[in-house]
């Protein structure tokens, strides 16, 4: 219901109507305000702890019909900052936020300050659209954005930097990009930050980096061993400079934020060449960036290193020694198909033959073979390249992926005319691969005549050898495994407890589990008859094919992996999907609810969360009383770690914080804290100074030297008389301190203030 204020409604009355204060409190505030005639009533309410600066700003927005802007979760454009001088911003408490057409969005403490609006219009040469923001937020934002280099440097100055990182540009930068690099995104701290994120991810052996803007933070996640783990959280105010830096290095248009873009970066790190494939996607809270890491220095595995059982290894060796025919490697995305293909190529490359590969992208460079990079934008498709290379006298052809009927038919035709052809297909198991080819439009006769064998696979994580221990899986999981595999599970199983070597995950590295279907006369006949998957699977099993689940159980028996991994990988061929699957209206491909543009066909999505969230009035307008209440101090579910060897004190603080909707955990020293931080990624750490094994000062130092923990805020607990500890802690990078004995209400205020400032 719309509750627009009356023309003469005052701030105090609005607060009473909103239920934030009562008449008695208003009377008290008015009397106090009379004693301080230079103070506005809103400022008096804040000073008396009757309201927050947010609530005052929202009330003014409601009263004046001016949009409210929350600077704690709104990215500020560096180009907008350059339009308003620092002196003008500080004198009038204003902040330029972004440019929209010929308008400058201006956050103001007092949106009725006509002089400030006129000065901003004159300085920028743009029309001014005033928005109201909390005074404290404007002050913090001015410090951050006008001293962005210094602000970032204060956080990452102690982070250990990877030496010898060199970016290799294949194409010259555009003039406008050079200018941008000379300003915000090329400043040394941003360069250090991007370098640190990339180098730390490479060191962690991540295959992908996800940089995801959220409402109040930027979340950075890494895909390690197939699992997407949270690596770090970066303050929201770094967002524009961070993403601009990456986009410029990838040769993207930094001004274009509304459509997906692709790019690439080459870098040299410790004399190793690394390719980075960059993809951006507009989401509700800004552009998401995904960086695919392709380490060119890694050597392709041999087939002996894939993790095959001896009988399966012999089958594969027989397949690749055949003079012609097709071998398909199948499995879902991220199941190691390309690694297996390279291992097969490694094996046949020992012979004196001509090997040509068609890849997108080239993930490993192998000496002695000819590798072709597919470029569909330039018209160099798999099908077109395949036709051309057949005139290059190849013995062995690797086709990175069969995506359509045309490619499948050309590849299969080649495999019947004296060429050994290797390729991949996205299917769940060996038998379904045959059905998938028929669905693509390939004739059963061509499939039956050309196929020699199918390798279906998944990747399972390997138990960490440093923290391995016996495991007792849940009975219901064992029953499911026994029912699926037809085997009685009576052997011991193991798991990784979690240690520093495996980053508390219990796993290090991955191995494959396999299902190998060798073509026989009976199976070829079934293909010609268009038999069902079940029938093909049944006959293949009788012929010696070991199903994926049984191969996986053998890996559990050998102590390679865990029962939990089997359940994750072997039972579910794909990640669980929502009960309601969203599809793009144009291309009908699956989309996520927070996507604004389809990454497949660039169609502007209708009904996205962001679009639904836009109110009928201008964004930021407060038209209802209940919207005045300050929601920015609601940190329900935020994780806080307490580090103190006084168990009674730590548990007491934890209990108090839980009552205030936080998730609080307590540990007794710095060593335990580092383990907990690696596992749980807290939003705030409260630490004592004097503790056994590792004290609070060493803990802070360790946190600030690691890019994954450098941005986590820290509060020190110290004795009243020990000033030296407080000063040393602040020097090492602590954000604030509290003196024992503690006042819990003071603790709560400081916790909320720091969380609000950072997140």
Look up the CATH number of domain 639-758.
Answer: 3.40.50.2300
The predicted pLDDT at position 177 comes to: 53
Residue 562 has pLDDT above 50, yes or no: yes
The predicted pLDDT at position 709 comes to: 92
Domain ranges of the chain: 11-148, 188-295, 303-570, 639-758
Lowest mean pLDDT segment, chosen from 77-86, 162-171, 200-209, 722-731? 162-171
Residue 337 Cα distances to 294, 342, 344, 551, angstroms = 15, 9, 11, 17
CATH of 188-295, picked from 3.40.50.2020, 1.10.3720.10, 3.40.50.11740, 3.30.450.90, is 3.30.450.90
The predicted pLDDT at position 727 comes to: 84
The predicted pLDDT at position 633 comes to: 53
The predicted pLDDT at position 167 comes to: 74
pLDDT digits (tens, 9 = 90+) for 717-745: 887 666 777 788 888 889 888 888 888 88
Look up the CATH number of domain 11-148.
Answer: 3.30.300.160
Residue 532 has pLDDT above 50, yes or no: yes
The predicted pLDDT at position 340 comes to: 94
**What is the arithmetic mean of pLDDT over 410-422?**
93
Residue 194 has pLDDT above 70, yes or no: yes
According to DSSP, residue 323 is labeled S
Task: Specify whether the CB–CB gap between 48 and 32 falls below 8 A.
Answer: yes
The predicted pLDDT at position 617 comes to: 45
pLDDT digits (tens, 9 = 90+) for 303-361: 999 999 999 999 999 999 999 999 999 999 889 999 999 999 988 887 789 999 998 88
Distance CA 466, CA 485 (A): 30
Residues 6+ apart with CB under 8 A from 728: 697
The predicted pLDDT at position 600 comes to: 63
The predicted pLDDT at position 367 comes to: 81
Backbone angles phi, psi at 221, to 5 degrees: -125, 150
The predicted pLDDT at position 89 comes to: 95
The predicted pLDDT at position 73 comes to: 80
The predicted pLDDT at position 580 comes to: 46
Q: What 3-state DSSP class applies to 301? A: coil
Q: pLDDT band for 186, please (50, 70, 90 cuts).
A: very low
Higher pLDDT, 190 or 629: 190
The predicted pLDDT at position 176 comes to: 55
Residue 168 has pLDDT above 90, yes or no: no
Q: pLDDT band for 616, please (50, 70, 90 cuts).
A: very low
The predicted pLDDT at position 151 comes to: 73
The predicted pLDDT at position 279 comes to: 95
670-680 and 696-705 helices, crossing angle to 10°: 40
Distance CA 20, CA 29 (A): 13
Place of tokens 């070829």: 524
The predicted pLDDT at position 165 comes to: 74
Residue 583 has pLDDT above 80, yes or no: no
Question: Before 174, cis peptide (omega within 30)?
Answer: no
The predicted pLDDT at position 627 comes to: 62
The candidate with the shortest Cα–Cα distance to 118, out of 107, 127, 131, is 127
User: 303-570 adopts what CATH topology?
Assistant: Rossmann fold (3.40.50)
The predicted pLDDT at position 140 comes to: 87
**What is the arithmetic mean of pLDDT over 648-675?**
93
According to DSSP, residue 324 is labeled S
- Give the pair of three-digit tokens for residue 311: 């009988």
Question: Apex CA 632: angle with CA 627 and CA 634, to 5°?
Answer: 100
Phi-psi domain of 20 (left: phi exceeds 0; alpha: psi -120 through 50; beta: other): alpha
- Give the pair of three-digit tokens for residue 186: 């090329």
pLDDT digits (tens, 9 = 90+) for 269-307: 877 888 999 999 999 889 999 999 988 777 778 899 999
Q: What 3-state DSSP class applies to 312? A: helix
Residue 579 has pLDDT above 70, yes or no: no
According to DSSP, residue 629 is labeled S
* Cα dihedral sign, 246-251-254-259: negative
Mean pLDDT, rounded, of the chain: 85
**What is the arithmetic mean of pLDDT over 32-60?**
87
Q: pLDDT band for 179, please (50, 70, 90 cuts).
A: low
- CA dihedral 536→540→542→547, nearest 10 degrees, is -110
**What is the arithmetic mean of pLDDT over 425-430?**
91
Residue 5 has pLDDT above 70, yes or no: no
Does this chain's domain 303-570 share its CATH topology with 639-758?
A: yes
**What is the arithmetic mean of pLDDT over 367-393?**
87
The predicted pLDDT at position 164 comes to: 65
The predicted pLDDT at position 594 comes to: 52
Q: Where are the alpha helices (DSSP H) in 606-743?
A: 609-613, 647-659, 670-680, 696-705, 723-732
The candidate with the shortest Cα–Cα distance to 397, out of 418, 366, 375, is 418
Place of tokens 């494959």: 512
Question: Apex CA 743: angle with CA 739 and CA 744, to 5°?
Answer: 120
Question: Apex CA 639: angle with CA 633 and CA 641, to 5°?
Answer: 120
Distance CA 654, CA 685 (A): 12
According to DSSP, residue 625 is labeled G
The candidate with the shortest Cα–Cα distance to 757, out of 92, 286, 236, is 236
**What is the arithmetic mean of pLDDT over 440-458?**
95
pLDDT digits (tens, 9 = 90+) for 468-477: 999 888 887 7
The predicted pLDDT at position 345 comes to: 92
Q: What 3-state DSSP class applies to 198? A: helix
The predicted pLDDT at position 607 comes to: 42
The predicted pLDDT at position 595 comes to: 61
Distance CA 526, CA 532 (A): 8
The predicted pLDDT at position 755 comes to: 85
Q: Which residues pair with 221 in a beta bridge?
A: 210, 230
**What is the arithmetic mean of pLDDT over 459-474?**
91
pLDDT digits (tens, 9 = 90+) for 86-140: 999 999 999 999 999 899 999 999 998 999 999 999 999 999 999 999 998 999 8
The predicted pLDDT at position 585 comes to: 64
Backbone angles phi, psi at 141, to 5 degrees: -65, -40
Q: Which residues pair with 595 in a beta bridge?
A: 283
Residue 605 has pLDDT above 90, yes or no: no
Lowest mean pLDDT segment, chosen from 20-24, 146-150, 618-622, 661-665? 618-622
Pick the most confident of 617-621, 628-632, 719-723: 719-723
């Amino acid at each position: 219901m719309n509750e627009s204020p009356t023309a003469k409604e005052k701030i105090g009355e609005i607060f009473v109507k909103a239920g934030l204060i009562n008449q008695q409190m208003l009377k008290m505030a008015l009397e106090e305000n009379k004693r301080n005639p230079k103070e506005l009533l809103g400022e008096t309410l804040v000073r008396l702890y009757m309201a927050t600066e947010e609530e005052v700003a929202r009330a003014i927005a409601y009263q004046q019909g001016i949009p409210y802007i929350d600077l704690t979760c709104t990215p500020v454009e560096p180009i907008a900052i350059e339009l308003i001088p620092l002196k003008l911003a500080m004198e009038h408490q204003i902040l330029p936020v972004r440019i929209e057409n010929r308008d400058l969005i201006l956050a103001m403490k007092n949106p009725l300050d006509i002089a400030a609006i006129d000065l901003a219009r004159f300085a920028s040469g743009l029309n001014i659209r005033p928005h109201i923001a909390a005074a404290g937020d404007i002050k913090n934002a001015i410090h951050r954005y006008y001293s962005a280099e210094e602000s970032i440097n204060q956080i990452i100055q102690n982070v250990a930097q990877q030496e010898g990182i060199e970016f290799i540009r294949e194409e010259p930068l555009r003039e406008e990009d050079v200018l941008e690099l000379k300003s915000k995104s090329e400043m040394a701290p941003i360069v250090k930050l991007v370098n640190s994120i990339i180098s730390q991810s490479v060191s962690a052996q991540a295959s992908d980096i996800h940089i995801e803007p959220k409402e109040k933070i930027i979340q950075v996640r890494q895909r390690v061993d197939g699992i997407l783990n949270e690596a770090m959280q970066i303050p929201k105010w770094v967002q524009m400079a961070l993403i601009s830096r990456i986009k410029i290095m990838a040769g993207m248009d930094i001004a274009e934020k509304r459509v997906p873009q692709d790019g690439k970066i080459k870098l040299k790190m410790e004399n190793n060449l690394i390719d980075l494939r960059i993809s951006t996607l507009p989401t509700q809270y800004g552009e998401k960036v995904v960086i695919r890491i392709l380490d060119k220095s890694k050597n392709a595995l041999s087939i002996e290193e894939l993790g095959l059982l001896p009988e399966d290894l012999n089958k594969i060796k027989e397949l690749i020694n055949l003079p012609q025919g097709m071998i398909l490697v199948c499995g879902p995305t991220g199941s190691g198909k390309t690694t297996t293909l390279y291992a097969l190529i490694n094996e046949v490359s020992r012979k004196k033959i001509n090997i040509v590969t068609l890849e997108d992208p080239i993930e490993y460079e192998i000496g002695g073979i000819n590798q072709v990079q597919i470029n569909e934008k330039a018209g160099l498709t798999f099908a077109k390249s395949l036709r051309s290379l057949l005139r290059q006298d190849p013995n062995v052809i690797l086709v990175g992926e069969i995506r359509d009927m045309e490619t499948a038919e050309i590849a299969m035709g080649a495999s019947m005319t004296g060429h050994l052809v290797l390729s991949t297909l996205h299917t769940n198991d060996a038998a379904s691969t045959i059905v998938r080819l028929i669905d693509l439009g390939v004739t059963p006769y061509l499939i039956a005549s050309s196929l020699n064998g199918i390798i279906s696979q998944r990747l399972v994580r390997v138990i960490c050898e440093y923290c391995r221990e016996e495991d007792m899986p849940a009975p219901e999981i064992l029953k499911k495994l026994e029912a699926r595999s037809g085997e009685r599970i009576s052997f011991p199983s193991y798991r990784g407890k979690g240690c520093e070597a495996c980053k508390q995950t219990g796993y290090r590295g991955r191995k494959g589990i396999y299902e190998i279907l060798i073509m026989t006369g009976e199976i070829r006949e079934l293909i010609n008859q268009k038999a069902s998957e079940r029938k093909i699977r049944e006959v293949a099993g009788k012929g010696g094919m070991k199903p994926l689940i049984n191969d996986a159980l053998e890996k559990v028996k050998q102590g390679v992996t865990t029962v939990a991994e089997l359940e994750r990988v072997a039972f579910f061929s794909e990640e669980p999907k929502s009960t309601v699957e969203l599809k793009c209206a144009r291309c009908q491909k699956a989309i996520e609810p927070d996507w604004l543009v389809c990454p497949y066909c660039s169609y502007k999505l209708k009904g996205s969360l962001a679009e639904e969230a836009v109110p009928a009035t201008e964004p930021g307008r407060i038209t209802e009383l209940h919207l005045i209440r300050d929601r920015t101090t609601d940190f329900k579910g935020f994780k806080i770690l307490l580090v103190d060897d006084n168990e009674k004190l730590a548990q007491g603080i934890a209990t108090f914080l839980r009552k205030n909707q936080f998730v609080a955990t307590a540990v007794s020293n710095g060593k335990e804290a580092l383990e907990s931080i690696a596992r749980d990624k807290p939003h705030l750490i409260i630490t004592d100074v004097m503790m056994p094994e590792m004290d609070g000062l060493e803990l802070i130092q360790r946190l600030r030297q690691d890019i994954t923990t450098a941005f986590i805020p820290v509060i020190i607990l110290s004795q009243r008389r020990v000033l030296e500890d407080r000063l040393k802690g602040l020097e090492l990078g602590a954000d604030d301190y509290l003196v024992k004995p503690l006042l819990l209400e003071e603790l709560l205020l400081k916790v909320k203030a720091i969380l609000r400032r950072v997140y």
